[in-house]
Amino acid sequence: MKDHESEEMYLETILVLKGERPAVRSIDIAEKLGYAKSSVSRAVSLLQDRGYIKVADDGFIDFTPLGAKKADMIFERHKVLTRLLVELGASETLAEVNACRIEHFIDDEVFELIKKHVENTDRA
């Protein structure tokens, strides 16, 4: 895995897959992302080394508490940013793609401002 953005993308993908099926394996990640199994295996190994996931003997992947916390944070950013972009007039597809890009680089302080704005829009 080359960078922070890739790490977050893998964690978010695992979280999404966990919502779609009872168990997640490396092959599921490879299919979802369209990546080679060897690339995903390397990334899974690095995520495990960094303490974000654990891989059972049967190949099933689960989050550690640290990994679950980080994946939840990334996914929250994705959802909030997507909603904001849709509110601004972007199509759902365009909003999704751009939220994916933005979520990895936005400062925490700026994200919190956006989150407050989106929450206030919901109440209005």
**What does the pLDDT profile of the chain (124 residues) look like in tens digits?**
556 668 999 999 999 999 999 999 999 999 999 999 999 999 999 999 999 999 999 999 999 999 999 999 999 999 999 999 999 999 999 999 999 889 888 999 999 999 999 998 877 6
Tens digits of residue pLDDT in 20-41: 999 999 999 999 999 999 999 9
Nearby residues of 56 by Cβ (< 8 Å), 6 or more positions away: 62
Q: For the chain, what percent of residues have pLDDT higher than 90?
A: 84
Question: Any residues with CB less than 8 A from the CB of 68 and at least 6 apart, and which?
Answer: none
Q: Which residues contact 66 (CB under 8 A, 6 or more apart)?
A: 51, 52
Q: Of all helices (H) and strands (E), which one includes residue 97?
A: helix 92-102
Rounded to whole angstroms, the Cα distance separating 69 from 11 reads 10
